[in-house]
Each structure stands twice: as structure tokens, then as C-alpha cells.
Amino acid sequence: MQVLFSESPLLFIGMASILALLIGSFLNVVIYRLPVMMERDWRAQCDEIRSTPADDLPEGRFDLVVPRSRCPSCDHQITALQNIPLISYLFLGGKCGNCKAPISSRYPAVELLTAVLSGVVAWRFGFGWEAAAGIALTWTLIVVSIIDMDHQIIPDSISLPLIWAGLFLSLFHPLAGAQVLFVDPQTAIAGGLAGYLSLWCIYHLFRLLTGKEGMGYGDFKLLAALGAWLGWQLLPLIILLSAVVGAISGILMIVIKRHERSVPIPFGPYLAAAGWIAMLYGPQIVKWYLDFML
């Protein structure tokens, strides 16, 4: 199998994309359920203090496995055939198989995005451990981005293990053929520290000057994770790319009146997108910039 994938890059890219399409369906579950699970936990802690049980959250066991997925309109349990990534959505015409209520187009969009981005990573790195790690990082960044867009939070249950994963992978440096990932432990530790402290300093400086909070602590941890994975050398590129893309997106949303000036814009998706680009072409972009400027 290893020889087959190594000698047939298109086969490896295709298999990686198909696997990612299946994983994309699970990512939709994580994106929806993890914030609910976090809220249930917060409410439970509040109940212990205030003795005021919440009545607007799901009852019984609720995690990433249980209960089975159901239609939010009619509570019909979704069967296995109705839960095939992308295909089921197209076959059902974007509607519930029971009550015909519209199904959000974001579900197949996340599945397709996961497949495409994973295929790009597989193409960029080729068959090997680096591609596997890059694809796993891609899946995590997709979840982080959408949760942050929906709830303006980056769960510690994602960002903290991501930091530890980056530090763990640094133990396997160097690996034959590794291009970006698997930086050495010293670089990974420095990247994690620099990633967290850089945004921490910006946050407190902005608050000191304006009296407002410009970002959340989840952003610090996400950049720390990217630093642990990619090394401190790529952090300036990640910050620059995320700031530029975030500023352009924010201005566009305000101009077309889809976003009020007073409503905060989540920074996590821009960090995630910049980190993903840096993972693929960070050293090349830095080299091009230095050659151009010098």
C-alpha cells in the first residue's frame, strides 16, 4: 500500500479527499455539539452555585457520539443512508427526508471544503507522515474557524491539545523528506511561547490605549499552537496575513452593511487561514518577500 500511494500521487490525493469527505460529516457534528456541550457544563457549574437548573438545553447524554443526529424541525432520526456526506444532501434535494424542511447548505459545504483542503495538503506534501499531520491540522482549523464564527469562542479542548500535538511532533524531527512540519523541539517551544506572548502583548496594549478588548484568549492559544507546529520563524507571516485578510473582510462586511461596527469580528478564522497557508508555502513566501525587498 505504501509503495502504491508513493508511486501514484493522484491515487493518494483521491483517497485522502474521500476520507476527508467522510470526516467532514463528523466535523459538522463537532462544530454543532461541542459548544452545546460546553454550555451544558457551564450551566451545570452555575446550578451548583445558584441552584437554578437550566431548562433550555438537551436532556440526557449529549456528546459527540450520543444522541443520533436528528432533523431540527421534526426531530426525525437521520438514517445512515440519509447521512452519506454530500451525496445524501444532493439526493434529498437539500431537504429533510421526513418533513421536507430545508437542510442548511453549510453541512455539505463543510464536507466539501474538508475534502478539497485535505486533497491540497496531500498534493503538497505527498504520501507520508507529514501529509497525515497536515491533514489532521487542516481538519482542526476548520472546526476552530466555524465555531469561532458562530460563537466567538475557541474551545480550550481543541487549542490546548493542538499545542501539545505540535510539541509532540517536534520530537520526530528530522524526518526524511519533511518540508515544513516536524520542526525541532527548541523551535516548537519557542514558537509556542512567541505565538502566545505576541498576541497577549498586543491585546493588553490595545486595551490600555482604548479601554476595549480587541481579541480573546483563545486567539492567543491558537497562535501558540501554530507556532508549536510551524516554528517561531513563520509567526510574523501568519500575523501579517491574518491581519490583512481580517481587515479587508471587516471593511467589506461593514461597507455592504452586513456587519455592524459595534459587533466584534472573530479573529480565529483569519489566524487559521493564515496558518494553513503558512503550513503549505510559508518558507517560500518569506523567501520571495525577502528577495523582493532586498
pLDDT digits (tens, 9 = 90+) for 261-281: 656 678 899 999 999 999 999
Q: Judge contact between 182 and 170, C-beta under 8 A.
A: yes
pTM of the model: 0.85
pLDDT at residue 50, as a whole number: 66
Instruction: Please list the residues that pair with 77 across neighbouring strands.
Output: 70
Q: Length of the chain, please?
A: 294
Q: Give the residues of the chain that fall short of pLDDT 70.
A: 1-7, 47-67, 70, 72-73, 75-76, 79-84, 96-98, 175-181, 214, 253-254, 256-264, 294
Compute and round to an integer the Cα radius of gyration of the chain: 21
pLDDT at residue 82, as a whole number: 63
The packing angle between helices 235-255 and 268-293, to 10°, is: 120
b/e code 105-118 from CB counts within 10 Å (16+ = b): eebbebbbbbbebb
**What digits encode the pLDDT tens for the residues 96-142?**
666 777 778 888 999 999 999 999 999 999 888 889 999 999 999 99
pLDDT at residue 52, as a whole number: 57
pLDDT at residue 217, as a whole number: 87
pLDDT at residue 63, as a whole number: 66
